């Protein structure tokens, strides 16, 4: 699967993927222009009101952490999209710091058990090894490896089977809903209608899974099975939590795995550390290599916050910045994780950096609840790939901002 151009249609939901020229400009913007401009801003204007707009861009390490940790002064703006999608009760990442947020977080965590990581690891290992053994030396690492592993976790661990005929549209739909929630905050009638169709499709798959499990109970090592057996919450809440676990997972994981693999295959030092980790079967080092790759090539230019009241940024530092009420704040972890003021030689690939320099999973409030699940999955996928001395056959193909295809050759045979 080389080109991302095309459409998916299901239940009246149609999504057009960008054509070659549109894609060229999106890639140029997201991968080259934005990082260059944000890098410049980080040096000369780390809190910058974009001219003629309501948007303030925050690019320095300290300021990004300050915004992320002052959730009452800088809450998230996504509730409007969540309402438009009919997503009720709300999604954690759209919620403010209220008792309802903490109750939801507690319930979501109750649906998970410590042993789940062992199960997720087993699924990721099995599917990765199987895909690499079957492909015999050449694979599209995104579509034939990373996406199937993520889908297998959704099916076997969450308990949400994705019917074969809906698979492509389901994947497109999750990327589309994620883009609608976390991308441009300027909503149009068209973007709302397409996102509503996409969300409907994802919800229909979740609803079918929940009602099938009511007919024929699932084992307790699945999220749905455990939730039903232990009566953790009702199906309306379960449906919302599963939507969050899918939205936080399938698109994000595709972004993260694609970006990390791209760096590991194209940066000599990254490749060298990756090979050391694989030779020693060192899972800890594999994860460090993946995190460092994501620091250097982060998944997104930024995330959104707002200001319900006028406030200041840079509290306690030599320079403060006034931020007016009603601004949209774009915090760039991508720029922050390359900030020389906090990260020594940020362009050098060094997996042994202090953990404190990483904001891959966010920072403080809204910190990713699925980080441990994502980590074990990435450890298994990258261990399986790196043990086979992979080489990229060409450049990664994107679908909008999402990695879509990256053909890799590798030493065939069982390397487990």
Chain residues in the site for ligand HEM (CB under 6 A): 92-93, 105, 244-245, 248-249, 252-253, 256, 299, 303, 360-362, 366, 368-370, 373-374
Neighbours of 11 (CB within 10 A): 12
User: In angstroms, rounded to a whole number, what is the distance separating the alpha carbons of residues 142 and 129?
Assistant: 15
Residue recorded with tokens 């230019």: 301
Least distance CB 328 / ligand HEM (angstroms): 13
Contact (Cβ atoms closer than 8 angstroms) between residue 54 and residue 47: no
Q: Which ranges of 74-188 would DSSP assign to H, the alpha helix?
A: 79-84, 99-110, 116-135, 147-153, 167-182
Least distance CB 86 / ligand HEM (angstroms): 18
Least distance CB 373 / ligand HEM (angstroms): 4
Least distance CB 51 / ligand HEM (angstroms): 25
Nearer to ligand HEM, 105 or 212 (CB): 105
Least distance CB 276 / ligand HEM (angstroms): 22
User: In angstroms, rounded to a whole number, what is the distance separating the alpha carbons of residues 149 and 151?
Assistant: 5
Nearer to ligand HEM, 131 or 334 (CB): 334
Contact (Cβ atoms closer than 8 angstroms) between residue 65 and residue 359: yes
User: In angstroms, rounded to a whole number, what is the distance separating the alpha carbons of residues 2 and 406?
Assistant: 8
Nearer to ligand HEM, 74 or 404 (CB): 74
The rounded radius of gyration (Å) of the Cα atoms in the chain is 21
Q: Which two tokens stand for residue 104?
A: 């939801």
Chain residue at closest Cβ approach to ligand HEM:
370
Per-residue burial over 84-105, b = 16 or more CB atoms within 10 Å of its CB, e = otherwise: bbebeebbbbbbeeeeebeebe
Least distance CB 94 / ligand HEM (angstroms): 8
Nearer to ligand HEM, 92 or 229 (CB): 92
Taking phi first (over 0 means left), then psi (-120 to 50 degrees means alpha), and beta for anything else, what does residue 6 get?
Answer: left
Largest CA distance in the chain: 63
Nearer to ligand HEM, 41 or 300 (CB): 300
Nearer to ligand HEM, 105 or 415 (CB): 105
Tell me the DSSP string of 56-80.
EEE-SHHHHHHHHH-TTTS---THH
Looking at residue 395, the DSSP 8-state letter turns out to be P
Nearer to ligand HEM, 10 or 245 (CB): 245
Contact (Cβ atoms closer than 8 angstroms) between residue 34 and residue 297: no
Nearer to ligand HEM, 291 or 387 (CB): 291
Assign 372 to helix, strand or coil: helix
Least distance CB 133 / ligand HEM (angstroms): 25
Least distance CB 105 / ligand HEM (angstroms): 6
Nearer to ligand HEM, 64 or 323 (CB): 64
Nearer to ligand HEM, 93 or 261 (CB): 93
Least distance CB 48 / ligand HEM (angstroms): 19
Among 223, 188, 16, 214, which Cα is nearest to 115's? 223
Least distance CB 103 / ligand HEM (angstroms): 12
Nearer to ligand HEM, 14 or 92 (CB): 92
Neighbours of 130 (CB within 10 A): 15
Least distance CB 104 / ligand HEM (angstroms): 9
Contact (Cβ atoms closer than 8 angstroms) between residue 303 and residue 182: yes
Contact (Cβ atoms closer than 8 angstroms) between residue 121 and residue 149: no
Looking at residue 79, the DSSP 8-state letter turns out to be H
């Amino acid at each position: 699967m080389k080109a991302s151009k095309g459409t998916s249609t299901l239940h009246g939901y149609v999504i057009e993927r960008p054509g070659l020229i549109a894609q060229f400009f999106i890639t140029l913007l997201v991968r080259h222009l934005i990082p260059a401009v944000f890098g410049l801003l980080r040096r000369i204007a780390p809190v910058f009101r974009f001219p003629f707009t309501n948007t303030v861009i925050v690019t320095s390490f300290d300021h990004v952490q300050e915004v992320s940790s002052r959730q009452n002064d800088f809450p998230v703006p996504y509730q409007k999209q969540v309402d438009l999608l009919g997503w009720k009760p709300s999604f954690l990442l759209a919620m403010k710091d209220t008792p309802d947020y903490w109750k939801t977080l507690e319930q979501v965590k109750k649906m998970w058990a410590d042993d789940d990581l062992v199960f997720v690891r087993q699924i990721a290992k099995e599917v990765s090894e199987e895909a690499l053994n079957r492909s015999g030396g050449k694979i599209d690492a995104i579509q034939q490896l990373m996406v199937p592993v993520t889908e297998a976790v959704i099916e076997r661990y969450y308990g949400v089977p994705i019917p074969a005929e809906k698979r492509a549209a389901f994947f497109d739909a999750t990327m589309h809903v994620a883009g609608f929630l976390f991308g441009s905050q300027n909503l149009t009638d068209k973007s709302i209608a397409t996102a509503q169709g996409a969300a409907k499709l994802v919800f229909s798959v979740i609803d079918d899974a929940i009602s099938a499990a009511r007919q024929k109970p699932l084992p307790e090592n699945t999220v749905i099975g455990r939730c039903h057996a232990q009566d953790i919450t009702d199906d309306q809440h379960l449906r919302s939590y599963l939507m969050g676990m899918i939205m936080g997972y399938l698109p994000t994981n595709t972004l993260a795995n694609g970006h990390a693999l791209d760096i590991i295959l194209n940066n000599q030092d990254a490749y060298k550390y990756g090979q050391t980790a694989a030779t020693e079967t060192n899972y800890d080092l594999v994860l460090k290599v993946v995190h460092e790759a994501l620091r250097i090539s982060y998944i997104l230019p930024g995330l959104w916050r707002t200001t319900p009241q006028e406030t200041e940024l840079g509290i306690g530092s030599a320079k403060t910045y006034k931020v007016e009420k009603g601004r949209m704040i774009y915090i760039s972890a991508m720029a922050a994780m390359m900030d020389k003021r906090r990260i020594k030689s940020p362009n050098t690939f060094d997996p042994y950096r202090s953990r404190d320099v990483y904001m891959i999973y966010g920072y403080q409030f809204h910190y990713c609840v699925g980080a441990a699940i994502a980590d074990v999955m990435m450890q298994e996928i990258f261990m399986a790939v790196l043990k086979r001395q992979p080489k990229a056959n060409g450049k990664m193909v994107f679908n909008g901002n999402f990695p879509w295809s990256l053909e890799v050759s590798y030493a065939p045979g069982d390397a487990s």
